Structures are given as structure tokens and as C-alpha cells.
Amino acid sequence: MAAKGEQTSTKPTMQNKSAAGGMLALFKKGEGFYKDGYCRTGPEDSGNHSIAATVTDDFLKSSNGKEYSSVSAGDKTCLSAQHWADAMKELDGEQVPKVHLHASHEKALDVVGYKDLKKFAAQGEATNQSGRQETHINPSSGSGPVKERNEFGGDQGTVAPGRGKSQNVGTDTKPEGSGGQRG
């Protein structure tokens, strides 16, 4: 039980974000470093088991039994981000375990890029996350994504009567009923 005044949550999704940018989704009951069904990670998890994936036979063979002895091809499990990254480099496309983006923890992005995770997304995954940037931007560097001019205000051609500047630039007409005075 939490000490008085200390706030804790029993819901991992409230505290953890997915690699896709939203709340971390439940993956498979009993899976994950904490065996709670989520591929979440923390300071105790030195292996960063943050990638929710469906494993392949080739991955299991290439891992030489590294901690996956109880897993069979086609099983869903939380993989070490480094093991998944190694498989991506060593195996051909279809042999790489398919990633479930919404159930993969954002800490996976410390090891592998979102673009690579997205490339190997499991069938049916929503891979067009417009909110997720494909590269890491360090906020302290002062650089960041730049908005296009048309993204700032949308359609700026309509102004309510008596509000803002008139679109009839160069005329001295006042909006009807305004009188130019405040009451």
C-alpha cells in the first residue's frame, strides 16, 4: 500500500506510452518483464524488454536460446529491444519478428528507430501515426519540426463582422451596426 500522500497507479497504461505515441496497450496476459501483460520496462529491466512482437522460427534459431527457450514460432512475447534490433540487421524481412506498435513501450525507441519498427509492423497495425515523429529531436538543441505556412490557421479568408481586419483593405467602410464604439 502506498504511503499517505503518495500517489500510485495500478494501471500501467496510465504511466507508460507506446512506441506509436499513445497509451501503452495490453499485449498478452502473463507476458512482459513484470508479467502483467504489458511490454513495459523500468530500471529493473536491464534487457529493455519493450518490443511487443510475434516471433519467427528464424529469430528463435538466431537467438541461440537467449531467454526465449519457452517461446515457439508464432507466439507473442515482449522482446529485448537489442535482440530485436540485432535480428533486424541479421535476418531477411519476413524472418524479423513482427512488431505490435501500440503494445511496444516507448523505451524501445532508445535502441531502434520508429521508422524501423513501423517497417516491420504486424499486419493490421495502424502504421500511419501522424503524431509520431520518425526521428528523435532533442528539445535542448533548439531545433524541431517546422510547421508549414498553411498549418498555422487554416482558412483565414473569413472574418466575423466587427472582428479583426476587414478583407476590403483600402476602404473606409465599417461593419454594419458596429458604430465603432464599445458600449
| Per-residue confidence (pLDDT) for residue 124, from 0 to 100 | 79
| Per-residue confidence (pLDDT) for residue 14, from 0 to 100 | 66
| Per-residue confidence (pLDDT) for residue 62, from 0 to 100 | 86
Helix locations, 35-174, DSSP H? 57-62, 81-90, 114-119
The predicted model scores a pTM of: 0.63
| Per-residue confidence (pLDDT) for residue 151, from 0 to 100 | 43
Whether 128 contacts 134, CB under 8 Å:
no
For the chain, which ranges sit under pLDDT 50? 1-3, 5-9, 127-131, 133-139, 141, 144-152, 154-156, 158-159, 166-171, 175, 178, 183
| Per-residue confidence (pLDDT) for residue 66, from 0 to 100 | 61
Per domain, the residue ranges of the chain are 12-121
Extended strands (E) in 17-162? 51-54, 76-79, 98-99
- Which of 131, 91, 122, 86 shows the shortest CA–CA distance to 104? 122
CATH fold group of domain 12-121: Phenylalanyl-tRNA Synthetase; Chain B, domain 1 (3.30.56)
Distance CA 114, CA 132 (A): 8
